[in-house]
Amino acid sequence: MTINFVCRQSKSGKDGLSPLELYVIIDGKRRYVSLNRRINPKAFNNKRQMVKGDTQTNEYIEAVRMKCYTLQTEMLKRGLLFTADTFVYAFKYGIKQNSISVYALFDEFMVKQQEKRKVGLITQAVYVKYKCTIRYTKEAMKTDKMMNELSTSDMEDIYTYMLGRMANNSAICYMRKLKTILIYAIREGYITTNPISFKFHKDKVKTDPLTLEEVRRIRTKVLGSRSMENVRDLFIFQCYTGLAFYDMSSLTQKDIKVDDDGKEWIVKERIKTGVMAYIPVLPVVKEILVKHQYLLPTLSNQKYNSYLKEIQEVCGIKKTLHSHLARHTCGTLLLNAGVDMLTVSKVLGHSSTKTTEAVYAKLLPKTIIERVEEVSDKLL
């Protein structure tokens, strides 16, 4: 930390006096603080940091300098964030009993979540959501600040930033996670009110699963690059296993089990719910596993969905392809093929068949026609 004083003649008033200012440089960032003194700028010796013939002001300058170093020691001793902004805030208003910066709060909160994850109080998926929430929030904020400086306007800016990066419903999901973090800050006494005081309104999203014909079209289409072929393999793998993207990304050969009849199964704990999924390895799934030597390609979810949009155009699919659509497609295709609800629930790793019924029990038009024709005679 560098401390200096300045008296600029350009700020002189009608009386010819200018405010004495303190400026600090921390990590290359300079901040000015106007002090409660006005002096003759011509009497100020910038090199010696003294006012000629003004003993009282010189003693005041030294007192301010000592205050700065004492403040620096206290902030570092308490483990508080030490930046030019947080220092100036502490200089003006003092160090409050429970002062903490936003970034420091995030670090503290994530330590707590890590402990919860280890004992099973939260899932890995929830933990990852918090990490992503913090990353997007930091990107939106750009610089750290004290918790008690946060405003509703700051929260609206963060929400706006997220809307520029993702769909509204995804942004709301992260903002709700941020609200939970801020509730933790209230419980710990860092702030008194939650700056997220506005309401969110989710968009109604209708997810139409792919038909078997559309899945086959994607599977058999000749694509122009190895990258697109890899993404297509992953998508088809999801369509026939129902694995969520992060479950598929973490899949290893250890998750492939062989039963007494020599049949292969994917037996894996779902990251989101911690529930075990039991998935038979169908021929198409086996084909993809062998092709990639039981080590599926890896890439980010964002990149994955980006490639899927290209595949969608190439294959002439009118529905928007995304990673979760494959999971919806798997559940729906199984149900329409006559697989019972409990079995589909086990494959998808749901904790209850109610989830399967509510989300995935969607009859495709062809199936509806077949079912109605089966009972048509009874309706006459």
Task: Verify that 144 and 123 share a domain, yes or no.
Answer: yes
Of the three residues 53, 68, 93, the one that is the final residue of a domain is 93
Q: State which residues form the domain around 59.
A: 2-93
The percentage of the chain sitting over the pLDDT mark of 90, rounded to a whole number, equals 43
pLDDT range class, residue 375, cuts 50, 70, 90: very low
Do 316 and 351 lie in one domain? The reply is: yes
328 and 360 Cβ atoms separated by less than 8 Å: yes
Dig out the tokens for 138 from the structure.
């930091």
**From CA 377, how far away is CA 251, in angstroms rounded?**
48
Q: Are 135 and 11 contained in the same domain? A: no
205: in domain: no
Q: Cα-flanking dihedrals φ and ψ of residue 264, to 5°?
A: -90, 145
Q: What is the pLDDT of residues 139-190, one digit of tens each?
A: 999 988 888 889 999 999 999 999 998 888 889 999 999 999 999 998 888 8
Q: Are residues 354 and 234 in the same domain?
A: yes
User: Which pLDDT does position 38 carry in this prediction?
Assistant: 92
Question: Which residues, in sequence order, are bridge partners of residue 33?
Answer: 22
Task: Using pLDDT thresholds of 50, 70 and 90, give the confidence band for residue 349.
Answer: low
Q: Average pLDDT of the chain?
A: 85
**Judgement on whether residues 141 and 279 belong to the same structural domain of the protein:** no
The reported pLDDT for the residue numbered 55 is 93
Residues 125 and 263 placed together within one structural domain of the fold: no
Separation CA 46–CA 325 (nearest Å): 67
Say if 48 falls within a structural domain. Answer: yes
* In-domain check, residue 361: yes
3-state secondary structure 329-347: HHHHHHHHCCCCHHHHHHH
Cα separation, 90 vs 96, whole angstroms: 8
CA 214-220-225 angle, to 5 degrees, is 115
